[in-house]
Chain A
Amino acid sequence: MTNRDENLSCLLDDHAVKNLESAVDELVGDVNLQYRMRRYRLIGETMRHELPDTIDNDFHHRVMARIGEEVSAPTAKPASADDSSRSAAIWSWVTLKPFAGLAVAATVAIVTVSLWQPVSKQAGQGDDALVLADQQKVELFAGGQIQGIVVPASTRGMRWKVSKNVPGFQQKLNAYLVNHTEHSNSMQGLIPQARVAGFDAQQ
């Protein structure tokens, strides 16, 4: 295993990396390394049984077909909506309805499988300083057309306070909480919904 591969493996496995900044720079600048990282990540997910049952590869065809229908038959908007800024958005609520039977709980798990949060914790530095440095890398990823890599919006925010930090445990608790919110009927205003809507930005 080369040094680069070793660094990559360490990044993904949450282990300490000798020179974090250069490892990240190398990763950002090397497309082959990025593809390799995706393969390693896939292997890791397979071993941890975190893969989805199936991935609906036909989804985008149906999405585009439906968008075409929406364009040809525009729908009325709410009277009080000031939607000028969204006039281009043609995706409507009903478009998503046929796709039922998926688990949002697991999406939280997906979104939380982020590369950069573990990295920032490995460095043993203050979180805030690393957040700024790493977010620049994150922006590169976000704008770099590297699809399939999940990008955290923020490394701040609340996380579960757990007695023992086991990999995947936070995701499991998130999944439980989402399912709890969806299947219970608490009278707590909008707090439960806000908690779920804010999930991935925090973790």
Chain B
Amino acid sequence: MKFLSKTLLLITVSIAASGAAIADPAMDWIQKMSDAMRNLNYRGNFVYLHEGQLESMEISHARDSSGEKERLISLNGEAREVLRDNQNLTCIWPSSRKVVVDNVRKNSFSPIFIPEDIARIEKSYGMKIIGRDRIANMATVVVQINPRDNLRYGMKFWINEANGLMMKSSLINEHGEEVEQVMFTSIELFEGGETLVLDTISQLDDSYTMIRFHSGDSSMPFTVDNAWQLATPPGGFWRDSALKRKSPGSDYFVQQMVYTDGLASLSVFIERHTGGTPAGSSSMGAVNAYIRILNDHSITAIGEVPAITVRQVAESITYQAQ
């Protein structure tokens, strides 16, 4: 009897374990993709489709002992270059002869999923592998991510079967329309362990102007005003971070609170209302924003989420003096 119990227990545990392993192979691919985008050295050209327009860009990404580095160059329209590493975001506009650098958060470019996040994500999204495809002459697995409500967008990823790199992605709005797409047309891996030098598209000379917008060290955090609270975050969203910085060109502060559901995110910006920011909805492609004026402050919720979500968030912000 004892033997039978043990056997049954063993069988039960085995089934549970194997079930967990194959429960969400789609999530495994998403995890693999995030790891690959973060850790591999790659370089390629991709197209970005939005609102009927096609932009062509070149990307180089590398990881070495100092962390991640990434360079984006626009290949059509005005020459533009964006350099990014774990500390700085640098933008260069050759035609307007300007270079600007900003601090960025010191974590990875792609999300690092922990089991807790995965459990939360699965509450908000359903994932499945819907087939295989060929992108840039490479075999890919296609993973579809469907939101379980209308508070977030759906996504579709074409993931390189060999190395996990994202070859194509689509953002799908609440009406089932693909609103923004990115697709590699060519991509190659760097040799590992080599020093990456990211040359700019033009030589910077003394005609370039460096423009400073922050009088102090923007990496110095100001204390966040916790009186500003989101009373009821939309289902599945939680507060990821909060920061406060000086508003460019003024003595006012801007507080930013970032909310995420594990895949999508939105930010709430709160600053003194000085006019020039009309309340109401705005949108650009898949990005929505909603502005509300409260206590002489403008509250702007913005992110790659449906209009209903940013509105709900902005309307739920309260100020409770401590």
Chain A interface residues toward B at CB < 8 A = 49-56, 59-61, 63-64, 67, 75-81, 83, 86, 88-93, 96-97, 99-107, 109-111, 142, 147, 150-154, 156-164, 166-169, 172-173, 175-177, 179-180, 182-202
Query: Is B276 interfacial (CB 8 A cutoff)?
Result: yes
Of the residues B96, B171, B269, B283, contact of A188 by C-beta under 8 Å = B171
A52 and B248 within 8 A (CB): yes
In terms of DSSP, what is the predominant structure of the interface of chain B? strand
B182 and A194 within 8 A (CB): yes
Query: Is B294 interfacial (CB 8 A cutoff)?
Result: no
B304 and A169 within 8 A (CB): no
Chain B residues near A158 (CB-CB < 8 A): 50-51, 53, 284-285
A60 and B78 within 8 A (CB): no
B80 and A200 within 8 A (CB): yes
Asked, given contacts A101-B214, A147-B207, A184-B258, whether A76 binds B194 with beta carbons under 8 Å apart, the answer is yes
Of the residues B90, B169, B284, contact of A96 by C-beta under 8 Å = B90
CA distance A200 to B76 in the complex (A): 12
CA distance A179 to B93 in the complex (A): 19
A143: shortest Cβ distance to chain B, in Å?
10
Of the residues B41, B260, B280, contact of A185 by C-beta under 8 Å = B260
A176 and B289 within 8 A (CB): yes
Asked, given contacts A80-B188, A161-B284, A188-B169, whether A99 binds B101 with beta carbons under 8 Å apart, the answer is yes
Of the residues B53, B169, B218, B277, contact of A103 by C-beta under 8 Å = B218
CA distance A196 to B287 in the complex (A): 12
A197 and B89 within 8 A (CB): no
A154 and B77 within 8 A (CB): yes
CA distance A68 to B284 in the complex (A): 43
Chain A residues near B266 (CB-CB < 8 A): 180, 184
Chain A residues near B219 (CB-CB < 8 A): 100-101
Query: Is B21 interfacial (CB 8 A cutoff)?
Result: no
Number of A-B contacts (CB under 8 A): 345
> Most A CB atoms within 10 A — which of B88, B107, B191, B207?
B88
A18: shortest Cβ distance to chain B, in Å?
29
Give B303's nearest chain A residue, CB to CB. Answer: A180
CA distance A175 to B1 in the complex (A): 70
B258 and A56 within 8 A (CB): no
In the complex, per-residue mask of B157-193: 1 if CB is within 8 Å of any chain A CB, else 0: 1000000001011010000000011100000111100
Pick 5 A–B contacts, CB within 8 A, sort by A.
A61-B206, A93-B83, A158-B53, A183-B241, A197-B80
A93 and B264 within 8 A (CB): no
A102 and B278 within 8 A (CB): no
Give A201's nearest chain B residue, CB to CB. Answer: B77
B211 and A102 within 8 A (CB): yes
B101 and A102 within 8 A (CB): yes
CA distance A92 to B85 in the complex (A): 13
7 new A-B contacts at CB < 8 Å, known A100-B87, A176-B302: A80-B190, A97-B88, A102-B100, A102-B218, A177-B289, A180-B302, A184-B303
Query: Is B82 interfacial (CB 8 A cutoff)?
Result: yes
A52 and B303 within 8 A (CB): no
CA distance A187 to B196 in the complex (A): 25
A189 and B169 within 8 A (CB): yes
Query: Is B144 interfacial (CB 8 A cutoff)?
Result: no
Closest 5 CB pairs of A and B: A153-B78, A189-B169, A60-B206, A59-B210, A201-B77
Chain A residues near B265 (CB-CB < 8 A): 180, 184-186
Chain B residues near A105 (CB-CB < 8 A): 102, 213, 248
Query: Is B34 interfacial (CB 8 A cutoff)?
Result: yes
Chain A residues near B191 (CB-CB < 8 A): 78-80
CA distance A122 to B251 in the complex (A): 34
Query: Is B15 interfacial (CB 8 A cutoff)?
Result: no
CA distance A175 to B282 in the complex (A): 14
Of the residues B74, B88, B203, B284, contact of A91 by C-beta under 8 Å = B203
A53 and B280 within 8 A (CB): no
Query: Is B116 interfacial (CB 8 A cutoff)?
Result: no
Query: Is B297 interfacial (CB 8 A cutoff)?
Result: no
Of the residues A91, A154, A168, A176, contact of B78 by C-beta under 8 Å = A154
B50 and A195 within 8 A (CB): yes
A104 and B197 within 8 A (CB): no
B304 and A78 within 8 A (CB): no
B282 and A162 within 8 A (CB): yes
Chain A residues near B201 (CB-CB < 8 A): 86, 89
